[in-house]
Amino acid sequence: MSKQHKWSGRQIKALKSSIRHWERMRDDMGCEEEPVAGDCACCKAYPSELYCGKCPIAVFTGHGHCARTPFYTASGDYYCNPGRFPAAAQKEIDFLNKVLKAGS
């Protein structure tokens, strides 16, 4: 994860949209979004690429499908422990901001 990155405009746009998505969910679990690929700007931008291809999250971690990110904890809390979701969502937001900063 210490490798230097330079994100493309497409990658930056997807990351910023994904951050806003997580902020909306954190602030209002009643919003019409969920922590699923269909609502994720990064997943939408890189839908058919093997192991997420050039998704900036996958490039940053070296792993596809949001492995080694706070995603799975936050997603689990969203569905099973909603009282813990805002804090878990914030960890995902912090992580996504770290990814964004790494390539900006």
pLDDT of residue 41: 96
pLDDT of residue 49: 65
pLDDT at position 47 is 82
What is this structure's pTM?
0.93
Q: Which residue has tokens 């990814």? A: 99
Q: How far apart are CA 77 and CA 86, in angstroms?
A: 9
pLDDT of residue 53: 86
Please name the residue ranges forming H helices in the chain. 9-27, 41-45, 56-61, 71-80, 85-103
pLDDT of residue 101: 97
For the chain, list residues with pLDDT below 70. Answer: 1-3, 48-49
pLDDT of 35: 97
Note the pLDDT of residue 65.
92
